[in-house]
Amino acid sequence: MITKCLFPAAGYGTRFLPATKSIPKEMLPIVNKPLIHYGIDEARKAGINEFGFVTGRSKRAIEDYLDYNPEIESSIKGSSKEKLLEDTTKMISESTFTYVRQKQMKGLGHAILTGEALIGKNPFAVILADDLCEGDVLSQMVKLYNKFKCSIVAIEEVPKEDTSKYGVIAGKEIENGVFMIHDMVEKPEPKNAPSNLAIIGRYILTPDIFDILRDTKPGKGGEIQITDALLHQAKKGMVLGYKFKGKRFDCGSVDGFVEATNYFYKKFYL
Ligand code: G1P
């Protein structure tokens, strides 16, 4: 059973400066809901209600957001605005949230290893909140995990010229959209990419990944890469790539952020 989800959320979000000078990038709203809230909703749909956050300096707004705010709640009580907070209050009451700080920025693999204290010896999900997904991607992955019981990464075809923005896999398709991975490279130049199947920010990881991460040397950009640890895991056992059904918005880029804003505005408000 996957009951826990880890959100690496220590990054500075420099692409969104000056907004991210004092607001965590995970708190930037798509219409009226912060990115992190979309991620939590997706995980809750997959049956998860224990959330761990790997945060850093200037990220306290995340903790405040995921707690009751009695002052606001009482000031809107009985008014038409009460319904604006209803779902959020329910989400808070049904979930637990724990936090650990990543003191140094040493890459996504290091962030996930820092989260070990919150996860323990359980298989767990990872969501990178700036990849905003539509279509219950994590639910699809949990279903697949229940069948194969191994680490899984969500993948999507990207234009070949974009491979240097992603971890890229190569694998053998064992069933429709499910690839047994035999190679993985972090942010390869197009000419060195083993395919155009890019990893997006949804993972299910088995807990042996922590021991592997402890022994993983810094890779691309001098950082400890989850991609390198997963390749090691794939060579020892099995890691799957899953071509999810749904839509992903790269909200770490201005174009993707605007695209997601228009999409959710049309979906919920027009
Ligand atoms: C991270 C991972 C990369 C993955 C990407 C998905 O990179 O290192 O393998 O493809 O997330 O969003 P980042 O975007 O944090 O640089």
DSSP states of 196-216 as a string?
A: SEEEEEEEEE-TTHHHHHHTP
Quick one: which atom of ligand 1 is closest to the CA of 128?
A: 12
What's the mean pLDDT in 148-176?
Answer: 97
Write the pLDDT tens digit of every residue in 59-96.
999 999 999 999 999 999 999 999 999 999 999 999 99
Q: What is the DSSP letter of 125?
A: E
80 Cα–ligand 1 center, Å: 41
Residue whose Cα lies nearest atom 13 of ligand 1: it is: 166
186 close to ligand 1 (CB < 6 Angstrom): yes
Mean pLDDT of the chain: 96
> Long-range CB contacts (< 8 A, 24+ apart) of 29-32?
30/132, 30/251, 30/257, 30/260, 30/261, 30/264, 31/261, 31/264, 31/265, 31/268, 31/269, 32/84
Residue whose Cα lies nearest atom 15 of ligand 1: it is: 108
Domain ranges of the chain: 4-269
Q: What is the reported pLDDT for 229?
A: 98
Write the pLDDT tens digit of every residue in 12-27.
899 999 999 999 999 9
Helices (H), 1-93: 35-45, 60-65, 70-76, 82-93
Write the pLDDT tens digit of every residue in 181-205.
999 999 999 999 999 999 999 999 9
Residue whose Cα lies nearest atom 9 of ligand 1: it is: 167
167 close to ligand 1 (CB < 6 Angstrom): yes
128 close to ligand 1 (CB < 6 Angstrom): yes
pTM: 0.96
Question: Residue 270 pLDDT > 80, yes or no?
Answer: no
For the domain bounded by 4-269, which CATH number is listed?
A: 3.90.550.10
- Which structure tokens are listed for 53? 């956050």
Tell me the pLDDT band of 269, cut-offs 50, 70 and 90: confident
